[in-house]
Structure 1
Amino acid sequence: MTAHLVRRQSVVRGEAPWWLLPAMEGNLWEPVGAELRALGRTGAPVKIARDFTVLTLNNWGLDELASDARLVVSELVTNAVRHAGEPTRLRLLHRASHVVCAVFDPREQPPVVTDADYFAETGRGLWLVESLSCSWGWRLQAGRGKLVWAAFTAPSAVGRRNSA
C-alpha cells in the first residue's frame, strides 16, 4: 500500500464554492444550514451523522442527494474517528447551487489519500469521497484542528443548467 499526503490545503479536486470557507469558519449560515455537535468517539457517531444527513437533506427537499451525501459523511466521520480521535461537529450547508458536508476534528494532520491494494479492507474512503462529490478538500483551522469538506451540486442547479 502506498500513501501520499494531499499537498493542496484548500481544494483537492475542483473549486470550492465561493461562500464555503467564510461560512465554515464563521456562523454565516445563510440561507440554509444545520449542525450536529459533539459526535463522540465510538462507532455511534457515524450512524448518528448518517441519519442526521439524510433527515436534513430530506427536510430541505434534496432527497436525490441523500444517498451519496450519506456515504460521504460516513467516510468523513469515520476518518475523523479513526485518525483524529473524534469528530467535533458535522455541518451541512445549502446554497442555490451546492450542498456542502463538512466535518471538523481536533487534529491538524491533513487527509492522506492512499492507493490501497486490491485485497485491502481500508484505504479507499477519500477516493469514494472524490468519486461522489463535485469537489472536496480540507483546511487547517489555526490551532483548532481541521475541516474536511465535500460539495455536491444541488439537483435544482443541475435542472437549471440542463434546461438552459
Structure 2
Amino acid sequence: MTAHLARRQSVVRGEAPWWLLPAMEDNLWEPVAELRALGRTGASVKVARDFTVTTLNNWGLDELICDARLVVSELVSNAVRHAGEPTRLRLLHRASHVVCAVFDPEDRPPVVTEADHLAESGRGLWLVESLSRSWGWRLQEGRGKLVWAAFTAPLALGRGRTSA
C-alpha cells in the first residue's frame, strides 16, 4: 500500500465554493445544520448519516442524499479511526452548493492511499473524490482540522429551506 499526503492544504480536487475557504479562515461561517459531539463509535457514523438524510430531505435536495450520505459516512469514519472522534458535522446549503464538513481534534492532514485490490479499507477518500464536486481540508491552528466535501445542488424550486 502506498500513502501520500494531500498535495494542497485547502483544496484537493476541484475548486471550493467561493464563500467556503475565506469563511473557514476566521470561523465566521454560520452553520445551517450542525451535529455536535458525535462520539468515538460506529454508532456516530449512523447518527451522522441519518442527520444528513433528514437535513437534505428538509431542504428538498433528495437527489443528493445517496452521494452525500456516503461521503459523510467516509468523513466521519475517518475522523473516528484516525483522530479518535469527530467533534461536529456541519451541512451548509448556499446558492448552488451543499457542503459537508467534519471537524476533528487531530492536526494531521488526511492521507490518500492506494489500496491493494484485495484490501478491505483505504478507499474512503477516493470515494469522497469520486462523489463530490470538490473536497479538501484545512488545519484549524491547534484546534484540529476540518475536512469538507462540496456538491452541486440541484434547484429546489419551492421546496425546503435554504440560506443565502
TM-score by length of 2: 0.91
- Matches of 1:26 and 1:116, distance apart in 2: 34
Distance 1:89 1:141, change over 3 A: same
Aligned to 2:161: none
Aligned to 1:11: 11
Aligned to 1:133: 132
Percentage of pairs with the same residue = 85
Secondary structure of the structure 2 residue equivalent to 1:35 = strand
How big is the alpha-carbon RMSD for the aligned residues of Structure 1 and Structure 2?
1.3
CA apart distance, 1:116: 0.3
CA apart distance, 1:28: 2.8
The 5-angstrom pairing of residues 100-119 of structure 1 reads 100-119=99-118
Aligned to 1:46: 45
Aligned to 2:61: 62
Letter in 1 for 2:7: R
Question: C-alpha deviations, 1:89-145, integer Å up to 9, x for none?
Answer: 000000111000000000000000000011000000000000000000000001100
- Matches of 1:97 and 1:153, distance apart in 2: 6
Contiguous gaps of at least 5 residues in structure 1: 158-164
CA apart distance, 1:41: 0.5
- Matches of 1:152 and 1:118, distance apart in 2: 28
Secondary structure of the structure 2 residue equivalent to 1:156 = coil
Contiguous gaps of at least 5 residues in structure 2: 157-164
Question: C-alpha deviations, 1:5-60, integer Å up to 9, x for none?
Answer: 1121000001111111344453432xx71000000001111000000000000000
CA apart distance, 1:82: 0.1
The alignment covers a number of residue pairs equal to 155
The answer to which structure has the higher helix fraction is: 1
Letter in 1 for 2:104: D
- Matches of 1:143 and 1:72, distance apart in 2: 25
Question: C-alpha deviations, 1:43-93, integer Å up to 9, x for none?
Answer: 111000000000000000001001100000000000000000000000000
